[in-house]
Structure 1
Amino acid sequence: MRKVFLITALFLVMALTGLIIWLPYLWWIALLIIPFLLLGFMDYFQKSDNIKRTYPLLGRITNLLEEQRHVLQETLLLNRTEGMPFNWIQKEIVYKRAADANKSQPFGTQLSYEKLGREWFVHSAFPSATIQDDFRVIIGGPKCYQPYNASILNLSGMSYGSISKNATLAFNGGAKIAGFAQNTGEGGLTPYHQKYGADLIFQFGTGYFGCRNENGDFDAKKFSEIARNDLVKMVEIKISQGAKPGFGAILPAKKNTEEISKFREIEAHTEIHSPAHHSAFGNTKELVEFIKKLRKLSNGKPIGIKLCLGQKTEFEKMVKILVEMQDYPDFIVIDGAEGGSGAANMDSLHWGGTPLPEALHFANKTLIDYNLRQYIKILAAGKIISSFDLYKTLALGADACYSARGMMFALGCVQSLKCNLNTCPTGITTMNPSRVASLVVDDKKTKVANYHKNTIEGLKEILTSMGLKDRKGISKENIFKRINETDEKSYGEIYN
């Protein structure tokens, strides 16, 4: 093939030369062909790509199809039940709820009840007529002086830098309208998190962005200034994240703009790796002392930790020490291994951590076993999209939930999987000004609020179908899962 290209190219060069000499008015044909010939010669002589070297010019088509493979699959090839991490049915639920559009569907489910792992809920023969529940939860233990009355569904941590300015603004506006909390993510508190006055959960991780000193360690004074902001209702220490547990975080250089670097107090246009470990503490006892310090610096606001469950014996040991010290966080966020991220280590993304159902059940059970459950609230995150997802998560022991990718779909995310490349076509996860401008804040903040409102309404409908009048009746016994071709088990049996 390489020889064929070389012979063809030489023939074309000779032909074009003759064409220009004898028919000069057809010079434009040469202008069209010469660029392709140059690309072909570049492919012919380069050494890094086998396909392009073997098939000059034509090999570029293969590369293009590989790069856009996911986009082609999503838009042309996959049916409604296919697609990962989310299929079209899941995305459509969010799109319709966000648009406050027709939320019905015809002709029966396309999700096979015979498929291994298929889940469903069971209803009552006598549905209830009304629901008497505000779907909020008070977060704050005995040593918390400013407990927070949180929605049971909130925006998961997404930093400005991971997502764009307009995405941050739209989330803030939507949270204000619908009355839920916006988690800042670990990228620091910015004016875009405060624009519309929504409740905030200030999160920081190992980089201590927004509250770090010159060496990158925790700065108490800067933290106190943020934590005492009236809009900040809770503080969340990120120990680990579902998509990259124990691996730290990455901010690609392309997304590290001058403005973002100022908020994070880092060097602009460089790839930033937050370490996997905290410098402020290195074990549970030191963590408890650190929480005490934060509670004082924040004037008694709820202080919690976020982690992806790893070694179960280590978590149980942590709980034992909390009992011994008689001090503990006000809340624990359990992030499932199926959680997402703008940029994550490939090994950790696919194989690190414990999935949310198993992790949430274990954490809840452990806290109950050690008589701490009444003092520590549990929040959960990990592919929570639908009202059924919300019900399942509450049934497994969560008091409240986070959603990140569900909220992103409400902004118009199309799952192009370009979050880490700064080329997001919807303006959500890119810093490219022209693409960010395509995300209209006034429209999208309403869609975010609609999605939250209609997801809570969907949960109400599930509860009434079960004959329940409030969420106190939520139970693992009302969810079933197919475990083989002929048998199913309730969540109560699976997570005993």
Structure 2
Amino acid sequence: MGRSGPLPLVALSAALSASAAFLVSARWWWAAAPALALTCAGVGDLLWRRRSARRGHPSAGRLGRPAGWPPPGAVREPRPDAWEEPEFLVPSLWPVEAAQEPPVVRVGGPDCSQPYDMALLNVSAMSFGALSGRAVLALNRGAALGRFAQDTGEGGLSEHHLRGGGDLVWELGTGYFGCRADDGGLDWREFADKAALPEVRCVSLKLSQGAAPGTGAVLPAAKVSAEIARERGVPRGVDVVSPPSHRMFSTPRELVLFVARLREAAGGKPVGLKLCVGARSEFLALCRAMLAEGVAPDFVVVDGAEGGTGAPPPASAGRLGMPLTQGLVTVHNALTGVGLRDRIRIGASGRVATGRDVVTRLIQGADYTNAARAMMLAVGCVRAGRCHTGGCPSGVATQDPLRARALHVARRARQVERYQRETVRDAVRIMAAMGVREPGGLTPAHLVRRVAPGVERSYADLYEWLAPGELLAGPPPSWAADWKAADPDGFD
């Protein structure tokens, strides 16, 4: 049975029974009438815009839940891990009026000639290939409507990213898709040409991701269509496995120099890093390299080990790398300790869905946030758990054109914009209730965690917060060993 479910069979049955009613006996109308009604309903479902179930599964969407569609209550948000304790934000007895305009974050250090004003909440990295072209386009149009950014993911720039008019953060992974040279390295001319596009506002160099750090991304063969193969420069119908590490650099020093070269080739647009933090000494090695070479990225996106959209391999998801909270605190402290925090913005990516999540991540050290799972839900994901098969029933995570047709781009784009707008508005209202008008007024004391029954401590007490330049002046005992081990000329 095809992607349109039972509709062709119902239509055929209606035609045969109606013919029999005319040619054989009027009694056949008892069979023809319901079949004709279902056929008309199915045709209407094909034109239905508001529900992906009906649009992608005409007739079947009315008769029951289509194959691949999760039954009610079958898919639930995972329970918090043991390290997640109940937390609450501290309200003020003297709240303030909420800001009328949502705050933005200026991204771009002193070496950046084209800075970008980043929204508090943006679309996290999701590639064309992992998502359908219609899903990518809906996300991009939503970003254009709401004036926020969409991270392309490491699958390269596609026409679906560029058609919607939204701002883009072009992500480069270890495969360098979109500007890949024949030898697997970076094609500098192609990179410069694409980075010059007005839609590209920032460039993000992905070192690792929370969903599968250290393994490289995987696009299953079932989702490698002719278009995907052309976009990425890979064979059709074969698993696309990105290398685990970059070939353009091999040490922290080479990495920061590579970032500087990317920024120059991009015409001075912001260039940053995306990573899931592992050993603290490795990130400190990057900081030492920044100081030694006098260059630094414009932003660092911290991905939490608990992040991901449901597609990563279960053996690694949530088990490799630091959770987002610890990663944010580590990166914020490291950059502060070496005196670079004022020129490098920090993004947070991982389990960000609500206004409360946004405020929490800002307190923990971020300047802005990115969401993937929540944006997928806004664009129509039903969490069927079939992302890796290409059989997504809602048209979000598939390269099957008939399945993708279920996703109505214009409607989903408005839904994405509305979700982002209301989430940021909630974050601004929460800050106002805490007596804060701007994110800069938030402090670790505004977030409290229950560490034991009847025992609560604020983040100001739970974590050690370094003063600007403290690592240079003399690291505290808790940082001394990692600071000593940090080598700008090696990741070991």
* Structure 2 length-normalised TM: 0.78
1:242 counterpart (204, 210, 221): 210
Corresponding residue for residue 356 of structure 2: 388
Shift of 1:363: 0.5
What RMSD, in angstroms, separates the aligned Cα atoms of the two structures?
Answer: 2.0
Mapped pair 1:225 → 2:193? yes
Q: Deviations over 1:129-182 (max 9, x none)?
A: 342664101111111111111112111111100100110010011000000011
Corresponding residue for residue 129 of structure 2: 161
Equivalences for residues 336-485 of structure 1 within 5 A? 336-341=304-309, 343-485=311-453
CA distance in 1: counterparts of 2:347 and 2:227, whole angstroms: 31
* One-letter code aligned to 1:246: G
Corresponding residue for residue 77 of structure 2: 83
Corresponding residue for residue 243 of structure 2: 275
Aligned pair in 2 of structure 1 residues 344, 236: CA closer, same or farther (>3 Å)?
same
Q: Contact 2:70–2:382 (CA<8 Å) still a contact in 1? A: no
CA distance in 2: counterparts of 1:421 and 1:181, whole angstroms: 28
Instruction: For structure 2, list consecutive stretches of 5 or more residues without a partner in the other structure.
Output: 1-66, 465-492
Aligned pair in 2 of structure 1 residues 484, 186: CA closer, same or farther (>3 Å)?
same
Aligned pair in 2 of structure 1 residues 341, 462: CA closer, same or farther (>3 Å)?
closer
* One-letter code aligned to 1:471: P
Corresponding residue for residue 14 of structure 1: none
Corresponding residue for residue 215 of structure 1: 183
* Structure 1 length-normalised TM: 0.77
Q: Contact 1:131–1:468 (CA<8 Å) still a contact in 2? A: no
Shift of 1:342: 6.0
CA distance in 1: counterparts of 2:73 and 2:304, whole angstroms: 30
CA distance in 2: counterparts of 1:430 and 1:342, whole angstroms: 14
Corresponding residue for residue 221 of structure 2: 253
SS in 2 for 1:401: strand
Mapped pair 1:186 → 2:160? no
Q: Contact 2:381–2:394 (CA<8 Å) still a contact in 1? A: yes
* One-letter code aligned to 1:288: V
Corresponding residue for residue 20 of structure 1: none
Mapped pair 1:324 → 2:292? yes
Corresponding residue for residue 54 of structure 2: none
Shift of 1:198: 0.7
Aligned pair in 2 of structure 1 residues 255, 326: CA closer, same or farther (>3 Å)?
same
CA distance in 2: counterparts of 1:333 and 1:129, whole angstroms: 30
1:309 counterpart (266, 274, 277): 277
1:131 counterpart (99, 123, 126): 99
Higher mean C-alpha deviation, range 180-189 or range 284-293: 284-293
CA distance in 2: counterparts of 1:298 and 1:128, whole angstroms: 41
Higher mean C-alpha deviation, range 127-136 or range 460-469: 127-136
CA distance in 1: counterparts of 2:344 and 2:218, whole angstroms: 30
Give the greater-gyration-radius structure (CA): 1
Q: Deviations over 1:39-90 (max 9, x none)?
A: xxxxxxxxxxxxxxxxxxxxxxxxxxxx98x934xx2468xxx632799xxx
Q: Contact 1:201–1:233 (CA<8 Å) still a contact in 2? A: yes
**Share of identical aligned residues, percent?**
37
1:335 counterpart (303, 312, 317): 303
CA distance in 1: counterparts of 2:428 and 2:345, whole angstroms: 22
Corresponding residue for residue 141 of structure 1: 109
Q: Contact 2:211–2:308 (CA<8 Å) still a contact in 1? A: yes
Shift of 1:359: 0.6
CA distance in 1: counterparts of 2:394 and 2:168, whole angstroms: 25
Q: Contact 1:116–1:483 (CA<8 Å) still a contact in 2? A: no
Aligned pair in 2 of structure 1 residues 270, 370: CA closer, same or farther (>3 Å)?
same
CA distance in 1: counterparts of 2:398 and 2:239, whole angstroms: 15
Aligned pair in 2 of structure 1 residues 85, 177: CA closer, same or farther (>3 Å)?
farther
Q: Contact 1:116–1:484 (CA<8 Å) still a contact in 2? A: no
Corresponding residue for residue 85 of structure 2: 117
Q: Contact 1:481–1:490 (CA<8 Å) still a contact in 2? A: yes
CA distance in 1: counterparts of 2:312 and 2:436, whole angstroms: 41
Corresponding residue for residue 70 of structure 2: 71
CA distance in 2: counterparts of 1:116 and 1:267, whole angstroms: 43
Higher mean C-alpha deviation, range 470-479 or range 406-415: 470-479
* One-letter code aligned to 2:70: V
SS in 2 for 1:306: strand
SS in 2 for 1:169: helix
* One-letter code aligned to 2:458: S
Corresponding residue for residue 28 of structure 1: none
Corresponding residue for residue 254 of structure 2: 286
Aligned pair in 2 of structure 1 residues 205, 116: CA closer, same or farther (>3 Å)?
closer
Shift of 1:320: 1.3
Instruction: For structure 1, list consecutive stretches of 5 or more residues without a partner in the other structure.
Output: 1-66, 88-114
Aligned pair in 2 of structure 1 residues 232, 205: CA closer, same or farther (>3 Å)?
same
* One-letter code aligned to 2:362: L
Q: Contact 2:192–2:266 (CA<8 Å) still a contact in 1? A: yes
Q: Deviations over 1:336-357 (max 9, x none)?
A: 1011056434332141111000
* One-letter code aligned to 1:472: G
* One-letter code aligned to 1:83: E
CA distance in 1: counterparts of 2:378 and 2:257, whole angstroms: 39
Q: Deviations over 1:7-40 (max 9, x none)?
A: xxxxxxxxxxxxxxxxxxxxxxxxxxxxxxxxxx
Aligned residues: 397
SS in 2 for 1:483: strand
* One-letter code aligned to 1:71: P
* One-letter code aligned to 1:380: A
Q: Deviations over 1:197-246 (max 9, x none)?
A: 11111111010101011222111011011101111010000110111111
Aligned pair in 2 of structure 1 residues 345, 116: CA closer, same or farther (>3 Å)?
closer
Aligned pair in 2 of structure 1 residues 85, 408: CA closer, same or farther (>3 Å)?
farther
Aligned pair in 2 of structure 1 residues 342, 275: CA closer, same or farther (>3 Å)?
farther
Mapped pair 1:493 → 2:461? yes
CA distance in 1: counterparts of 2:142 and 2:280, whole angstroms: 37
Aligned pair in 2 of structure 1 residues 423, 116: CA closer, same or farther (>3 Å)?
closer
